[in-house]
Amino acid sequence: MPRIAFLACPATLPGSPTRRSDAFEHDLQLAALRQGLGSRTEVADIDWRAPLEHLVRFDLAILGTPWDYTEAKDEFIARLEALEAAGVVVANPSEVVRWNADKLYLQDLASRGAPAIPTLWPEVPGPADIHAAFDHFDCERVVVKRRVGAGAIGQDSFRRGDAGIATWRTAQPAMIQPFLPAIQSEGELSFIFIGGELSHALIKRAAAGDYRIQSLYGGSEVALDPAPADREAAAAVMAMLPFAGPPLYARIDMVRLESGKLAVIEAELIEPYLYPQQGPDFGKRLADAVLARLA
């Protein structure tokens, strides 16, 4: 019977003393996969930093919830490469992770024609970069976020004249974008693709007074039957991914610009939450796509 590893980390593993409050996402995603696979395979959640001799006993390793990879990107990629060298199928593979771990990939997508959010990419931005961004974008509010990051950690939003700008510091390469008001009106749209096919879509909204849609900050989501044009916009981004075949999973996150067009805010290929509760066929689709990779 094939053995599948669901790669996780101390922030998500059940029973871990440092488990995060939003680690229920780990439980739901793993349960959907297990339900889809039934008795056809064995699935275990395991820390991606577990001894290599434990990890190489698996036939396939899914990037499940290794949320802390953003603090150790190179170590994470090296670990995936070691698994691949030992014959373990890694999904999504290290090649995909190398491209997707740094949000600079958004420039790559834009150059392929994807509708993009205007972005400044100062290497390590300081207050002067933030002040300059208001004029550059001709806007009243901006968002500063890490190039290698997730869960809105290390992210800030400023309005023109905010006192906090003067003392803002980061040690990380970052990016600055105009604040998109559609986040708070319509929300952020997510399109979940399994094996290259659209599995389901949903809309994520922030809690009152916040603009971050993640559950950690009180955000919530509902299933969405997307308009044909929006569906096509997400599928077009999928078609622009620079890999030979479709990834095991992908979450294309989009936000509407003032023009009415959806722009890609992220193409998540590493450890996105795939919102199993909004996708009635999700577990079966994921299981079938996993088994296809083992065949």
Residue 234 has a CB neighbour count (10 Å cut-off) of 25
101 to 120: interface string for ligand ATP, x by CB under 6 A: ----------------x---
Toward ligand ATP, which CB reaches closer, 98 or 293? Answer: 98
**CB 281, min distance to ligand ATP, A:** 23
**CB 125, min distance to Mg ion, A:** 19
Indicate which single residue of 12, 67, 266, 282 sits in contact with ligand ATP (rule: CB under 6 A).
Answer: 266
Q: How many CA atoms lie within 13 Å of 205's alpha carbon, on the beta-carbon side?
A: 10
Residue 213 near which of ligand ATP, Mg ion, none (CB within 5-8 Å, type-dependent)? ligand ATP
Alpha carbon of 253 to those of 23, 27, 29, 138: distances in Å? 21, 22, 18, 25
Toward ligand ATP, which CB reaches closer, 149 or 195? Answer: 149
Indicate which single residue of 88, 91, 96, 152 sits in contact with ligand ATP (rule: CB under 6 A).
Answer: 152
Indicate which single residue of 214, 241, 264, 290 sits in contact with ligand ATP (rule: CB under 6 A).
Answer: 214
* 266 lies in the binding site for Mg ion (CB under 5 A): yes
Toward Mg ion, which CB reaches closer, 26 or 204? Answer: 204
The residue length of the chain stands at: 295
* 183 lies in the binding site for ligand ATP (CB under 6 A): yes
Indicate which single residue of 188, 194, 201, 226 sits in contact with ligand ATP (rule: CB under 6 A).
Answer: 188
Burial class (CB in 10 A: 0-12, 13-18, 19+), 295: exposed
Q: Which residues contact 254 (CB under 8 A, 6 or more apart)?
A: 188, 189, 190, 191, 230, 233, 234, 237, 262, 263, 264, 265
Report residue 211: phi and psi, to 5°: -125, 0
Residue 278 has a CB neighbour count (10 Å cut-off) of 19
Secondary structure (DSSP) of 219-236: -EEEEE---HHHHHHHHH
Q: Applying CB under 6 A, what is the total number of residues that bind ligand ATP?
A: 20
Indicate which single residue of 179, 186, 215, 293 sits in contact with ligand ATP (rule: CB under 6 A).
Answer: 179
**CB 210, min distance to ligand ATP, A:** 8
Residue corresponding to tokens 């740094």: 102
175, 188, 206: which is closest to 252 by C-alpha?
188
* 143 lies in the binding site for ligand ATP (CB under 6 A): yes
197, 189, 210, 190: which is closest to 248 by C-alpha?
197
Binding site for Mg ion (CB under 5 A): 266
Binding site for ligand ATP (CB under 6 A): 117, 143, 145, 149-152, 155, 177, 179-180, 183, 188, 206, 211-214, 265-266
